[in-house]
Structure 1
Amino acid sequence: MDDVNRLGRRAIFDLKPYVPGKPIEEVEREYGITGVIKLASNENPLGPSPAALNALKDAINKVHNYPDGNCYYLKKELANSLHLPEDHFIIGNGTDEILKMLGETFLNPRERVIFAWPSFSEYDFITRLMGARPVTVPLRNFVHDLDEIARQVDEETKLIFICNPNNPTGTIVDGQDLRLFLNQIPSGVLVVVDEAYYEYVTAPQYTSAVELVKEDERVIVLRTFSKIYGLAGLRVGYGIAAPKIIQLINRVREPFNVNLLAQKAAVAALQDKEFLQQSRDVVLKGKEYLYDSFARLKLEYVPSEANFIFLNLKRDSREVFMSLLKEGIIVRTGDIFGYPTWIRVTVGTPEQNKRFIASLEKILDDRV
């Protein structure tokens, strides 16, 4: 065939493939160095829970069997933890898969999807994949502009995504503001609240949207085991919604979509409350150190309720990114979010944070 592109569905040519953070192994190969640290993808620097690792060891000899397609034990554990019936949950191969299932379940071509920008790029990807139309609303002072999002809603709007805390800024939507926002949204519009970083939040005005699920069938909450639980490599996330919504999403869910090892590790991770607190404490203390360091270096940053910080270097972030790579440190450049002088840096262990600051200070001094 002369032009194979003609075979492709028209919508896929509008897609911008997701570019993940640079892997440690790739940097070590390229630069011939060892001991590279990755502060780019908001992973848990402590790794997974010891209980999750033990669960993986116990389950490894069972991988010749298909996993439980219903994720019975994981749903049961989530139900106990969040005080909701098990029919309020859907489990996915990461929240990325759940986002895709939401698109496949609810979006028709030309319908509108509203989300803030900058925010998680997968919202745009899923919208375009389904041939729907993305409507982006700029953040106001790095925070979701809920009033403007509400004003953008029309009769063709189907979905609204709210990332709370927001990636890449780490800012939150106030619980009361979110409730008032919902009162402005028509009944035929679904509101998806992505709480990937929920476990890190300390702000008293923050309220999880899980409470709203109990009151409003339009609300869908997403969470993940990839961040504080340290299971990013296993790919497991979950959605929380009214049973009627879950039943619809299950119509497009692939059978056996969450592997056996991921299910076992996620159950164990949920039960390990001590490790969860330890992981939270590392981030809270790390943010204090980084905030103090940024103040000393006279660098602007956005106070964060997540495990990362959005930082203004006042110079080309990609140049600094390349210099940090040579120092064995991987961060995320802000140009992909429309902020070419900013970076997003994940909070690491105390040793990793100190190494990052020392390298950053050296690089900035060299460029004065």
Structure 2
Amino acid sequence: MVGHFPEKAVHGGKVQELRRIFGHDFLDVSASMNPFVPQVRADFSCADLSRYPDDSYTELKEIIACVFSRNIDEICLGNGSAELIRVYCHTVLSRGDTAQIDPPTFAEYGLSAELAGAAVLPGTRLGDRVPAVRFICNPNNPTGHLLSRDVMLTELDRCTKAGTQLFVDEAFMDLSCPEDSITDVLSDNLFVMRSLTKSFAVPGIRFGFGFGSPDLIEQIETARTPWTINAFAEYYAKLAFAHYHELRGAAERIAAEREWYYARLDELGLSYERSAVNYILIHLNRSAAAFTRAMIDQGVLVRDCTSFGLPECIRVSVETRERNVRVLEAVAACLR
């Protein structure tokens, strides 16, 4: 094979694979879903499978436009966040470009940038090079760190002056502090991505959406594979956005449960990153891979953060109290 081809990104959410291997159910806290999901009553028999979806998805975009106070020509849709990241990179990046991605963060940014022909470097290694694209996950995965709206606007201004595109992944913002979102900002240098996956706990639906300038959105929609939003996803998304305002209550409940979780981790003598969202990065000071395997024996699946470059850390989602107690009991058993 001629040249370098990047390796596939490593993700969590492997409960299906583990069920096949070990033959029993797990409490999955590796994928960080909203534990307090709005009640969306979806009767999927209402989805019309006898016709192609409207590939412009105008009706769905009008609903999103109303929720976020944007114009429909500033909205694009994708088969989950991963498709939007991939299509964005193929639209904006060219061979020889540089993408700035500061670790640890979501691996799909780097993989998609490399597949588009770009070199991926953290800010500390850029030197005099001006990146074509700067990627920021806010709140960040896996640390849970949140940059304020003011900081993000300052970063956008810096990128604009440098001629750099700013890609902001706000997939977890609804479960954090929506006031810090910049989805309302229109700029030729900005693309903001959102998802229903985490906030409505529907990873099987595969639905992501993003905001940008009309010119950028037109290019992304052209590059996107036609009809990638299937009839089930389109139907569910329309229902979910009617409940979007309920996510604020979920974020408040998560914040309260997160503080309770910190106190229990303190009792166990574990250090962690203070998070702004529904997951916590825990420092183990031991092999995360071995600890993750021990947790599987306890019936709990956590996220081994070795693939993030953090071989002694795990990430756990903040769940309901009953589930959090079970996870912490398993953690305590594995620490002995």
Range into which the TM-score falls when normalised by the shorter chain: over 0.9
Give 2:313's aligned amino acid: W
Distance across 2 between alignment mates of 1:332 and 1:236: 22
Alpha-carbon distance change, 25 to 104 in structure 1, aligned in 2, over 3 angstroms: closer
Farther off after superposition, 247-256 or 105-114: 247-256
* Secondary structure of 2:136's aligned partner: strand
Alpha-carbon distance change, 307 to 253 in structure 1, aligned in 2, over 3 angstroms: same
Alignment partner, residue 214 of structure 2: 243
Alpha-carbon distance change, 288 to 134 in structure 1, aligned in 2, over 3 angstroms: same
**Does the aligned pair in 1 maintain the 2:137–2:168 contact within 8 Å?**
yes
Give 1:76's aligned amino acid: E
* Secondary structure of 1:74's aligned partner: helix
Distance across 2 between alignment mates of 1:201 and 1:179: 18
Q: 1:31 offset after TM fit, Å?
A: 2.7
Given the alignment of the two structures, is residue 198 of structure 1 paired with residue 192 of structure 2, yes or no? no
Given the alignment of the two structures, is residue 58 of structure 1 paired with residue 46 of structure 2, yes or no? yes
Q: 1:53 offset after TM fit, Å?
A: 2.4
Alignment partner, residue 73 of structure 1: 59
Q: 1:136 offset after TM fit, Å?
A: 1.7
Give 1:210's aligned amino acid: T
Q: 1:187 offset after TM fit, Å?
A: 5.3
Aligned counterpart for 1:42 among listed residues 32, 35, 42: 32
Given the alignment of the two structures, is residue 337 of structure 1 paired with residue 308 of structure 2, yes or no? yes
Alpha-carbon distance change, 75 to 274 in structure 1, aligned in 2, over 3 angstroms: closer
**Does the aligned pair in 1 maintain the 2:139–2:173 contact within 8 Å?**
yes
Alignment partner, residue 95 of structure 1: 81
**Does the aligned pair in 2 maintain the 1:90–1:246 contact within 8 Å?**
yes
Deviations 1:228-284 (A, max 9, x none): 122211111011011111112222121112111101101111111475345334422
**Does the aligned pair in 2 maintain the 1:116–1:136 contact within 8 Å?**
yes
* Secondary structure of 1:53's aligned partner: coil
Alpha-carbon distance change, 115 to 153 in structure 1, aligned in 2, over 3 angstroms: farther
Aligned counterpart for 1:346 among listed residues 279, 298, 317: 317
Q: 1:50 offset after TM fit, Å?
A: 3.5
Alignment partner, residue 183 of structure 2: 210
Deviations 1:116-158 (A, max 9, x none): 1011101110111011100124xxxxxxxxxx69x75734x21
Distance across 1 between alignment mates of 2:217 and 2:266: 46
Where does 1:103-118 land on structure 2 (aligned, <5 Å)? 103-118=89-104
Deviations 1:159-198 (A, max 9, x none): 1101110000000112222222233223531101110111
Given the alignment of the two structures, is residue 163 of structure 1 paired with residue 151 of structure 2, yes or no? no
The alignment's TM-score, normalised by the length of structure 2, stands at: 0.93
The alignment's TM-score, normalised by the length of structure 1, stands at: 0.85
Given the alignment of the two structures, is residue 309 of structure 1 paired with residue 280 of structure 2, yes or no? yes
Alpha-carbon distance change, 239 to 52 in structure 1, aligned in 2, over 3 angstroms: farther
**Does the aligned pair in 2 maintain the 1:302–1:310 contact within 8 Å?**
yes
Runs (5+) with no aligned partner, structure 2: none
Q: 1:110 offset after TM fit, Å?
A: 1.0
Distance across 2 between alignment mates of 1:246 and 1:153: 30
Identity %: 26
Give 1:38's aligned amino acid: D
Give 1:65's aligned amino acid: R
Where does 1:281-296 land on structure 2 (aligned, <5 Å)? 281-296=252-267
Distance across 1 between alignment mates of 2:13 and 2:202: 18
**Does the aligned pair in 2 maintain the 1:119–1:168 contact within 8 Å?**
yes
Deviations 1:18-42 (A, max 9, x none): 22325323323433433x1111111
**Does the aligned pair in 2 maintain the 1:299–1:312 contact within 8 Å?**
yes
Alignment coverage as a number of residue pairs:
335
Superposition RMSD on alpha carbons, in Å? 2.1
**Does the aligned pair in 2 maintain the 1:228–1:280 contact within 8 Å?**
no
